[in-house]
């Protein structure tokens, strides 16, 4: 995608989507119903994309949208809002019942939110920030979000190594 769209601002966006409350579908209606809901989520997301965009289920109830050339943060937000709306429509289940779900969505835009190797991680961090606030919306990545995920683990490892190497001293003054 980068070879095609280049490295201009907002040349690519990654949307990380996690369904809110999906576990209850499997527990209440069975895994066959849950599988059908996941297939329908994929169809709905595909219907919201344009030529050149990609949709992928990355596991469980998590999906990625790769948006080529959204052009701006506003356009990426508009596409995120469309996806949220599409996924909130009722899902028919075997036996005539239906279920309604919402989702939490995180957005990372290249190159503003980091190198391509970090976009999925950053979109995931933004999605978790949405989950912590109750879900059913989207958020753009903010660098402070990174400290709550893998960066925090890296910092802990660095601090432990510093202690082992005698590079850290602790002083306490009441």
Catalytic positions: 61
State the Cα–Cα distance between residues 100 and 89, nearest whole angstrom.
6
> Rounded distance, CA 22 to CA 47, Å?
21
CA 135 – CA 129 distance, rounded (Å): 9
First to last CA, the chain: 56
Only one residue has tokens 């209440």, namely: 28
Alpha helices in the chain (DSSP H): 2-5, 22-29, 31-48, 73-88, 116-132, 143-146, 150-164
Which among 99, 76, 111 has a CA at the least distance from the CA of 30? Answer: 99
């Amino acid at each position: 995608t980068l070879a095609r769209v280049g490295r201009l601002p907002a040349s690519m966006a990654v949307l990380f989507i996690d369904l809110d409350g999906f576990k209850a579908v499997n527990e209440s209606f069975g895994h066959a119903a849950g599988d059908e809901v996941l297939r329908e989520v994929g169809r709905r997301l595909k219907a919201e994309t344009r030529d050149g965009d990609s949709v992928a289920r990355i596991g469980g109830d998590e999906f990625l949208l790769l948006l080529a050339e959204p052009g701006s943060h506003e356009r990426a937000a508009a596409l995120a809002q469309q996806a949220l709306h599409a996924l909130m429509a009722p899902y028919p289940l075997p036996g005539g019942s239906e279920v309604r779900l919402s989702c939490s969505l995180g957005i990372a835009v290249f190159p503003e939110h980091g190198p391509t190797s970090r976009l999925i991680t950053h979109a995931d961090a933004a999605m978790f920030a949405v989950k912590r606030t109750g879900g059913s919306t989207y958020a753009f990545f903010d660098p402070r979000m990174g400290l709550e995920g893998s960066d925090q683990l890296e910092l802990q490892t660095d601090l432990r190594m510093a202690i082992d190497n005698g590079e850290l001293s602790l002083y306490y003054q009441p």
